[in-house]
Amino acid sequence: MRRYSAFAIAREAARYHTGWERAWRSPAPKKAYDVVIVGAGGHGLATAYYLGRNHGIRNVAIIEKGWLGGGNTGRNTTIIRSNYLQDESAAIYEKARSLYENLSQDLNYNIMFSPRGVMMLAQTEHEIRGYKRTEHANRLQGVETRFISPKEVKKLVPIIELGGPRYPVLGALWQPRGGTARHDAVAWGYARACSDMGMDILQKCEVNGIKQKNGQVTGVRTTKGEITCKKLGLVVAGHSGLLAEMAGFRLPIESVSLQALVSEPIKPCMDVVVMANTVHGYMSQSDKGEMVIGGGADGFNNYTQRGSFHHLEETVRALIETFPIVSRLKMLRHWGGIVDMTGDRSPIVSKTPLGGTFINCGWGTGGFKSIPGSGWAMAEMMATGEPGDLAAGFGLDRFREGRFIDESVAAGVAH
Ligand code: FAD
Ligand code: PYC
């Protein structure tokens, strides 16, 4: 595949852009692969990419029932940060954040990483204590965060209302190298690199059965026929429970809808990301000028990818008290994605009871930020058969042993 470069843009401009190649191939499925990954979201594609790049395993198929990036990867609000509390989480989220710093160069694809800074507002005494604790933990973990005063908050975000009607802003946990990236570009960049390594991305192909013999996976049944494999990775976020059932085990996961909306584009007015977790709203401004807004997860399990009116009302009410200018904005679009929630709000990156089968799920409301680190850890586990340092804490056995990694506060989104 030809590299993208300034020279390539000039060359194509001179010939009316007739020479661009397709970013990835759309091949027919082969009968057999060494590795099959189910789910072409960010985590599935990143797993395949690092299998090829770090471990030289390239006879890989990534199977997607819809279109690549059409799940939560293309529906999220793109916040990237690593200000988690527990050591296991800080390690994997910071690995991901640091990979994001150079991901455009690594993939030769502009993912528009924008380390503009992320702040989580403290609006109660309890939140101040919690975020100061996180700041201290992050210092020990090598993650750069700082608790800042209301004055510093106002300087960074002039449009904020510090003395809100219900909760005043008392400070914030500030991560200066947190930020955003273009979500579909992350999926597209990984997909292009995987295809370039000879891997097959099979879109519009649903896995509806898992074949096994003597406790070992042998392949998958799909809407395009049977495919055999030596190793299988299940990376399907909100559909993880369904795939686990096909493989013959149960997961401690609930699937719920998380919603977001964007406004009409306006002039640049906010160049950081703000999360207000007490009133339950968060906001950033996209490069097009739209205000990207989200709230808490639905309070009931479901598989719908739609928004709902009660959520709109709750989220916009929270945002208006934090940013009064929101009251004069028109909203353009509203959608939902099915997120996969564990009890401790930490992911599962694990071997499973079925031999040769590995699972990556449970990133819940916060898995966009972790895509590169998660793919790196999952690839290592699939290549070697055992979890490495990054994945070691996130095994399924922690639920049996009560070894939870509680991140219900750092998850940052009401659930
Ligand atoms: P997905 O992108 O959902 O990919 C899974 C894929 O598996 C899908 O494409 C699906 O079609 C496919 N699949 C399912 N079943 C099958 C099958 N049987 N056969 C074949 N394919 C199948 N995270 C953050 O870090 N920051 C944020 O700001 C943020 N905001 C969010 C806002 C919203 C509204 C939502 C919904 C989520 C948000 N998240 C955020 C969470 C984040 O989007 C997810 O954790 C992450 O995208 C999960 O990626 P994934 O690759 O695991 O899943
Ligand atoms: O994990 O930072 C996050 C997040 C923000 C909005 C949804 N998830």
Q: Looking at this protein, which amino acid is placed at residue 335?
A: W
Sign of CA dihedral 100, 103, 105, 111: negative
DSSP, collapsed to helix, strand or coil, labels residue 130 as helix
DSSP, collapsed to helix, strand or coil, labels residue 148 as strand
pLDDT for res 414: 66
**Residue whose CA lies nearest to ligand 2 atom number 3:** 366
In the predicted structure, residue 306 carries a pLDDT above the cut 90: no
Tokens of 147: 């608790």
pLDDT for res 300: 87
DSSP, collapsed to helix, strand or coil, labels residue 95 as helix
DSSP, collapsed to helix, strand or coil, labels residue 103 as helix
Q: Report angle CA 395, 400, 402 to the nearest 5 degrees.
A: 90
In the predicted structure, residue 243 carries a pLDDT above the cut 90: yes
Residues with Cβ within 6 A of ligand 2? 77, 79, 81, 282, 294, 365-366, 412-413
CA 214 to chain centre: 35
Backbone angles phi, psi at 212, to 5 degrees: -145, 155
What global pTM score does this model have? 0.97
Q: Looking at this protein, which amino acid is placed at residue 28?
A: A
Mutate to test the pocket of ligand 2, among 134, 319, 413 (most ligand atoms within 8 A of CB): 413
pLDDT for res 305: 83
pLDDT, tens digit, 9 for 90 and up, residues 172-219: 999 999 999 999 999 999 999 999 999 999 999 999 999 999 999 999
Q: Which of 10-24, 107-121, 311-325 has the lowest mean pLDDT?
A: 311-325
Q: Looking at this protein, which amino acid is placed at residue 282?
A: Y
Q: Determine whether the shortest distance from the Cβ of 220 to ligand 1 is under 6 A.
A: no
| Among the bound ligands, the one closest to the CA of 75 | 1
Tokens of 363: 């990133």
Q: Which of 89-103, 291-305, 330-344, 385-399 has the lowest mean pLDDT?
A: 291-305
pLDDT for res 335: 94
pLDDT for res 297: 86
Residues in a beta bridge with 274: 119, 283
DSSP, collapsed to helix, strand or coil, labels residue 374 as helix
CA 39 to chain centre: 13
